[in-house]
């Protein structure tokens, strides 16, 4: 339910309202409404509860719209507004334009996020904070309408709806400002801590996203093979390469890794909407054990860190690449950090696998076996386990 002042991706990123947080809404709503109505008639009490799902989505809508309007006022482009949760950000959703903004509606409409493309570093922090604070400010204003309850007849249907609306918005305000996850409050603190260099990188990244999207839109609707033929004729056309990668991703074409490598190698600053493709490519190479010290994989994994805002997943990929490049201590430090901070099964599995490989290279076989065993316990079906298969044998020495 927060604002994300970053070039948006359809990657993991962006469901800032935790699933379990939504489940907690029922209890404070029940307690607050019960207290506010002072145990008034059961009929009005039920009206308040039954109206909750019908009032909650408009509250989310207004919260996200406030972010978008504020962004437009301070001169920042809104790339999309997302309403709803989904396990698969690439999955089915409804695209539409409303009030001048592009919207995406997903299947479980209980959260939202706004994605912007800030390309101007001037007054970045101020514009980011104004945009981010607008959502909670509107929710707080909507919650303050609850004072009308004390003016209206407490036995009226309107008063029941009003106090429910007020409690919903108050809760949204508290969650978005006080959550320890990627909430609006956390984002404001993050923007205050940004260095000038980080701001410059973010703006360059956003510009690269916009430029690439513009070029891809010019490609049209080519078939995959027609796009490959055009790429062969125009090998330097980055938009065609990006189009091919997107098409291959949709059909799970096994040639995708090759074209991802060609694509990301063309960027000095990698657009964040290509970061997932690069992460998948590097993960595939790590699984196969084909990372080589030829000067390519080191900068590619560095690009991934920048494009993914130094996320813990990207740090895990970077650490694993460093292990394969022989930079053991650097890689181990990153992977141990990942294990301390991540909740992701795949991140935990890969971190343990590559820590096992690191310890093996340093002749610490007992530690290597421990890490390999942990990886197997976390995900026994992980394809990368073949790289530590020798450590899992009872006879390994």
Q: Helix, strand or coil for residue 121?
A: coil
Could you tell me if 185 and 250 lie in one domain?
A: no
Give the pLDDT confidence of 10-50 residue by residue, as tens digits.
233 333 343 344 444 454 555 555 545 544 544 555 665 66
Could you tell me if 29 and 136 lie in one domain?
A: yes
Give the pLDDT confidence of 261-294 residue by residue, as tens digits.
888 777 766 666 677 778 878 888 898 888 887 7
Question: Is residue 201 assigned to a domain?
Answer: no
The DSSP secondary-structure symbol of 274 reads: G
Could you tell me if 281 and 382 lie in one domain?
A: yes
Could you tell me if 61 and 31 lie in one domain?
A: yes
The DSSP bridge partners found for residue 96 are 103
Give the pLDDT confidence of 332-352 residue by residue, as tens digits.
999 999 999 888 888 899 999
Could you tell me if 182 and 36 lie in one domain?
A: yes
Note the pLDDT of residue 325: 92
- Mean predicted lDDT score pLDDT of the chain: 77
Question: Is residue 247 assigned to a domain?
Answer: yes
Give the pLDDT confidence of 65-118 residue by residue, as tens digits.
999 999 999 888 887 888 876 544 445 567 788 888 888 887 776 678 888 877
- Contact, 184 vs 139, CB < 8 A? no
Question: Is residue 181 assigned to a domain?
Answer: yes
Q: Range with the lowest mean pLDDT among 70-79, 91-100, 143-152, 169-178?
A: 143-152
**How far, rounded to the nearest angstrom, does the alpha carbon of residue 322 sit from its chain's CA centroid?**
24
- CA dist 67 and 69 (Å) reads 6
- Taking the alpha carbons at both ends of the chain, their separation in whole angstroms is 52
In this structure, what are the phi and psi dihedrals at residue 97, rounded to the nearest 5 degrees?
-110, 135
CA dihedral 226, 227, 230, 236 (to 10 degrees): -170
Could you tell me if 186 and 323 lie in one domain?
A: no
Please identify which residue in the block is written with the tokens 């000038």. Answer: 196
Question: Is residue 202 assigned to a domain?
Answer: no
Could you tell me if 69 and 98 lie in one domain?
A: yes
- Contact, 112 vs 81, CB < 8 A? yes
């Amino acid at each position: 339910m927060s604002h994300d002042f970053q070039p948006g991706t359809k990657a993991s990123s962006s469901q800032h309202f935790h699933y379990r947080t939504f489940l907690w809404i029922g209890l404070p709503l029940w307690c607050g409404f019960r207290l506010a109505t002072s145990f008034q008639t059961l009929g009005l009490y039920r009206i308040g509860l039954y109206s909750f799902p019908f009032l909650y989505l408009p509250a989310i809508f207004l919260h996200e719209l406030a972010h978008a309007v504020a962004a437009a006022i301070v001169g920042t482009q809104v790339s999309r507004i997302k309403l709803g949760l989904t396990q698969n950000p690439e999955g089915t959703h409804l695209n539409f334009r409303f009030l001048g903004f592009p919207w995406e509606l997903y299947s479980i409409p209980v959260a939202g996020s706004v994605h912007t493309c800030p390309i101007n570093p001037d007054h970045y922090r101020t514009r980011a904070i104004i945009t981010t604070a607008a959502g909670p400010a509107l929710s707080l204003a909507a919650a303050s309408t609850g004072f009308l309850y004390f003016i209206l007849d407490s036995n009226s249907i309107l008063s029941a709806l009003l106090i429910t609306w007020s409690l919903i918005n108050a809760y949204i305000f508290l969650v978005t400002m006080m959550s320890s996850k990627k909430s609006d409050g956390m984002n404001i603190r993050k923007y205050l801590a940004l260095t000038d260099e980080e701001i410059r990188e973010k703006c360059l990244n956003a510009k690269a996203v916009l430029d690439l999207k513009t070029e891809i839109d010019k490609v049209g609707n080519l078939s995959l093979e027609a796009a490959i033929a055009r790429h062969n004729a125009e090998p330097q056309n980055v938009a065609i390469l990006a189009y091919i990668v997107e098409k291959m991703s949709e059909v799970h074409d096994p040639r995708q890794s090759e074209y991802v490598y060609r694509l990301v190698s063309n960027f000095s600053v990698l657009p964040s909407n290509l970061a997932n493709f690069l992460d998948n490519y590097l993960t595939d190479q790590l699984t196969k054990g084909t990372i080589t010290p030829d000067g390519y994989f080191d900068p590619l994994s560095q690009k991934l860190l920048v494009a993914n805002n130094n996320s813990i997943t990207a740090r895990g990929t970077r650490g694993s690449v460093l292990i394969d490049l022989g930079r053991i201590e650097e890689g181990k430090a990153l992977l141990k950090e990942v294990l301390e901070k991540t909740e992701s099964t795949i991140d935990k599995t890969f971190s343990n696998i590559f820590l096992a490989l690191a310890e093996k290279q340093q002749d610490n076989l007992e530690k290597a076996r421990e890490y390999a065993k942990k990886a197997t316990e976390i995900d026994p079906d992980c394809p990368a386990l073949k790289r530590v298969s020798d450590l899992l044998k009872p006879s390994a020495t």
